[in-house]
């Protein structure tokens, strides 16, 4: 018998009706990362992605970074299968109408093949340190108070120093395929991120008429504006 923690924003329907025919222990909580951060006693984490794929993707990535030792399952409708990629960090996908025999088998296999936890090495460049396991960032040893998207943006830059990215590329890589806002949101987040970097704001360089680049510390600010 496994312990399942289901994260969902829906209270009007059962996420996996087949669980009612099985003997697993199930607890359902709101679809927020802090529901897990407060302490988790679960053999499997289950994220409900039936109605809000964008929020499910963000939550899965957080849970994968912070709880890689616990299998992570994503529940979808059939229409959502075509958009999930490896960067979501999930171990398996389930259709919401899955039968009890298949569900039980998938749970057994997922739990059985969970690897031993490993500690990821922090990303470091130009005085910026990104710790993906704790979703924290530092600049020259000083902790940064970042929102989720600011953290994702900085992590992407630190992982790709010296490369120029258009606003459209940044939207695709950081906000994802399902973001329908304009490129202006990139400029807003860049401005906020620079303000939090303080004296190191020059690390993020504006390339006029193109986009942005994350400089290595020894490089000049070039076309920064």
What domains can be seen in the chain, in order of their start residue? Answer: 3-112 (3.40.50.2300), 123-214 (1.10.10.10)
What CA–CA distances, in Å, run from 223 to 75, 183, 209?
Answer: 46, 20, 11
Tell whether pTM > 0.85: no
43 or 13, greater pLDDT: 43
pLDDT digits (tens, 9 = 90+) for 91-128: 999 999 999 999 999 999 988 775 555 556 788 888 99
pLDDT, position 45: 94
Among candidate residues 223, 114, 120, the one with its CA nearest the CA of residue 164: 223
Distances from the Cα of 55 to the Cα of 33, 47, 59, angstroms: 11, 10, 6
Span 168-201, pLDDT tens digits: 899 888 887 556 667 889 999 999 999 999 999 9
Q: How far apart are CA 17 and CA 210, in angstroms?
A: 50
Written as six digits, the tokens of 7 are 């994260």
Give percent of the chain with pLDDT exceeding 70: 89
The model's pLDDT over 122-156, given as tens digits with 9 standing for 90+, comes to 888 889 999 887 888 999 999 999 998 899 999 99
pLDDT greater at residue 56 or residue 33: 56
* Residue 219: per-residue pLDDT: 47
**SS in 3 state form for 137-149?**
EEECCEECCCCHH
- pLDDT over 50 at 71, yes or no: yes
Lowest mean pLDDT among 2-6, 27-31, 66-70, 217-221: 217-221
Q: Which helix (H) or strand (E) holds 213?
A: strand 211-214
% of the chain beyond a pLDDT of 90:
53
Q: What is the pLDDT of residue 225?
A: 46
Give the HSE-up count for residue 53: Cα atoms under 13 Å, Cβ half-sphere: 17
């Amino acid at each position: 018998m496994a312990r399942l923690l289901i994260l969902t924003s829906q209270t009007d329907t059962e996420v996996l009706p087949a669980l009612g025919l099985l003997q697993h222990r199930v607890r359902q909580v709101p679809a927020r990362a802090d529901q897990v951060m407060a302490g988790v006693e679960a053999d499997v984490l289950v994220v409900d992605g039936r109605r809000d794929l964008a929020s499910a993707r963000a939550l899965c990535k957080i849970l994968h970074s912070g709880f890689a030792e616990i299998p992570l399952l994503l529940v979808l409708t059939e229409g959502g299968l075509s958009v999930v990629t490896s960067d979501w960090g999930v171990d398996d996908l389930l259709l919401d109408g899955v039968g009890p025999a298949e569900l039980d088998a998938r749970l057994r296999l997922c739990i059985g093949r969970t690897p031993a936890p490993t500690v990821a090495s922090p990303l470091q460049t130009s005085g910026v340190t990104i710790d993906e396991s704790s979703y924290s960032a530092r600049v020259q040893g000083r902790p940064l108070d970042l929102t989720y998207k600011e953290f994702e943006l900085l992590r992407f830059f630190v992982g790709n120093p010296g490369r120029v990215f258009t606003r459209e590329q940044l939207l695709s890589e950081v906000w994802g395929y399902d973001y329908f806002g304009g490129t202006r949101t990139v400029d807003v987040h860049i401005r906020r991120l620079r303000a939090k970097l303080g004296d190191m704001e020059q690390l993020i360089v504006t390339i006029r008429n193109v986009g942005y680049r994350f400089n290595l510390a020894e490089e000049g600010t070039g076309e920064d504006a």
